[in-house]
Amino acid sequence: MEFAELIKTPRADNVVLHRPFHQAVEGTLCLTGHHLIFSSRRQDNAEELWLLHSNIDSIEKRFVGSLGTIVIKCKDLRIIQLDIPGMEECLNIASSIEVLSTLDSVTLMYPFFYRPMFEVLEDGWSSFLLEQEFELLSSVTNEWRLSYVNKEFSVCPSYPPVVIVPKSIDDEALRKVALFRHGGRFPVLSYYHQKNGMAMMRSSQPLTGTNGRRCKEDEKLINSTLRSGRRGFVIDTRPLTVAQQARAKGGGFEQEVHYPQWRRIHKYIERFNILQESFIKLVEACNDQSHNMDRWLSKLEASNWLTHIKELLTAACLAAQCIDREGASVLVHGSEGTDSTLQVTSLAQIILDPRCRTIRGFEALVVREWLQAGHPFQQRCAQSAYSNSRQKWEAPVFLLFLECVWQIHRQFPCSFEFTEQFLIMLFEHAYASQFGTFLGNNENERAKLKLPQKTMSLWSWVNRPEELSRFQNPLYEANSLVIWPSVAPQSLQLWEGVFLRWNRPSKFLEEAEKERISIITYNKELQARVNTLRRQLAEMEVTVEMLQE
């Protein structure tokens, strides 16, 4: 298919761009296969706006006479308005955008056409291999092994080819366990707590069904992570009633009779359309221009967004607490084990593991616990808060995770190597990107699409020194401890950086950030100078002494 066929009017002049907190600008609008480009050539400030079609969530058009107006709402929550003279031009442009922003074939997406303008220093596709992770692990324990049982994606289609499992369990047993777990997602290692040797595993629900099926291999697998005489915790992210109902559909939960060493805790975490509805309501509230305080607060409350944040953080803290404080191993799962399960396991690691609070460590966490673990990014992030499609599989699961990280970041502003901007960048790229990293729903699909060969990895770009410097937190100093966030409502706030991002004047906050950086840079400079002088002085003193002698 040629994109040119879809673009009837590739260019329009005298278009006026409106954005909140910016003056309206007049300029030229161009459409290409993947971008909407607006450029103004005003002498005082020429500027260009490049918008990926895949970033467009919805588009509205209206006419006053022959002046057409299109309102574009983006997945990163930005809203822009374009006034386009000429009814035909406007209609053409609107319909082209509509088609180009909803292409259903992945291989037509921009990452397959994008050619980087930068030199690739390190191929991000191979930056975070599970083998490296395992090497680190084997330096502290030998209770685990790498398994290639899923090499052909035949045991579990949504798992990566390599997983870490208890050493005592062989591949044959894993195959049996896979048959006992929803979608074949047998329990694998998610995190190993060096401090006390406790493990966090994740899986999907067991397929006990109504007649209480059991699987000895499954029991053996998870029991092998327990110390003798100690109990473990199963954190089920569904309420008990839902877990019980799941039995009718062949699902279920670990029953006490078969898992006497495990205590089950149900921590309800919302998923799917309830989450998506909440997201849509929150964004609606944030775009409500009314000055009425009560209305704002009641809309914020009605969106329930912060409730989800609080519940999720609480569940993650609980998992971390079981591991670090109770000295118990933990198994986390919900139904499929691809959404709330991953939220809980990855957040618990932020709390427990200082490495995950570094830039590189966080990237590794996203790769390990989200991409490789088979969170269906393409389905979940197909549409954002402005879409009318309301498909069952769309949900801001990853955004919710990022916001929880931000909440912890806010409470421990000196313990993270990255800034809020880093999290916002990940949010943007999960929804629309020139990179192939977030395409596909699991490693299986990514391999079939040959993404590593055909597209550029986000990490190849982010991990270049000039990009990294934008995301480095000037206040960071490594903190080797477990960080326990407060989950009280008073301690949680709306993530303004995402939800009010386009609605608030950013000047003053940016100035504050600059000031923070300059205070710290100046300090470091002085330190370096003082050290140099000290050295010089010491050297000279030695020379003087020698001369005196």
Q: Which strands make up the sheet holding 67-74, listed edge to edge?
A: 47-52, 35-40, 25-31, 11-18, 79-85, 67-74, 56-64
Our CB check for other proteins shows the closer of 25 and 318 to be 318
Min dist CB 527 to other proteins, Å, is 6
Q: Using CB under 8 A, pick the residue from 287, 379, 421, 506 that binds other proteins.
A: 287
Structure tokens at 319: 């998992």
Alpha-carbon torsion angle 228, 233, 234, 239, nearest 10: 150
Strand partners for 201: 189, 331
Q: Is 361 helix (H, G, I), strand (E, B) or coil?
A: helix
Nearest to residue 431, comparing CAs of 102, 57, 94? 57
Q: How far apart are CA 352 and CA 236, in angstroms?
A: 20
Residue 108 binds to other proteins (criterion: CB under 8 A): no
| 409-439 exposure pattern, b = at least 16 Cβ within 10 A, e = fewer | beebeebbbbbbebbbbbbbbbbbbbbbbbb
500 touching other proteins, by CB under 8 A: yes
Q: What is the Cα gyration radius of the chain?
A: 26
Q: Does 547 bind other proteins (CB under 8 A)?
A: yes
* Spatial distance between the Cα atoms of 516 and 510, rounded to a whole number of angstroms: 10
Pairing assessment for the beta strands 35-40 and 47-52 based on DSSP bridges: antiparallel
Among 412, 452, 464, 472, binds other proteins (CB under 8 A): 412
> Least distance to other proteins from the beta carbon of 137, Å?
23
Q: Which of these segments, 5-13, 35-43, 288-296, 441-449, binds other proteins (CB under 8 A)?
A: 288-296
Q: Is residue 537 near other proteins by the rule CB under 8 A? A: yes
Q: Rank residues 84 and 235 by Cβ distance to other proteins and give the closer one.
A: 235
Binding to other proteins (CB under 8 A) within 443-462 occurs at none
| SS3 of residue 115 by DSSP | coil
Contact region with other proteins (CB under 8 A), list: 30-38, 102-110, 199-207, 315-323: 315-323
Q: Which stretch binds other proteins (CB under 8 A): 95-103, 109-117, 417-425, 540-548?
A: 540-548
Contact with other proteins (CB under 8 A) among 296, 358, 452, 464: 296
Q: How far is the CB of 252 from other proteins (least distance, A)?
A: 23
Interface with other proteins in residues 233-272 (CB under 8 A)? 267
The reply on whether position 123 binds other proteins by CB under 8 A is no
Residue closer to other proteins (CB basis): 56 or 309: 309
Compose the 504-533 pattern: x for residues touching other proteins by CB under 8 A, - for all others. Answer: xx--xx-xx--xx--xx-xx--xx-xx--x
478-497 mask for other proteins (x: CB under 8 A)? xxxxxxxxxxxxxxxxx-x-
* Element (DSSP H or E) covering residue 265: strand 262-266
One-letter amino acid at 19 equals R
**Contact present, 386 and 224 (Cβ < 8 Å):** no
- Member of 289, 388, 453, 469 binding other proteins (CB under 8 A): 289
User: Is 285 a residue that touches other proteins (CB under 8 A)?
Assistant: yes
Q: How many CA atoms lie within 13 A of 38 on its CB side?
A: 21
Nearer to other proteins, 257 or 481 (CB): 481
Q: How far is the CB of 202 from other proteins (least distance, A)?
A: 19
User: Which of 216, 301, 391, 470 contacts other proteins by CB under 8 A?
Assistant: 301
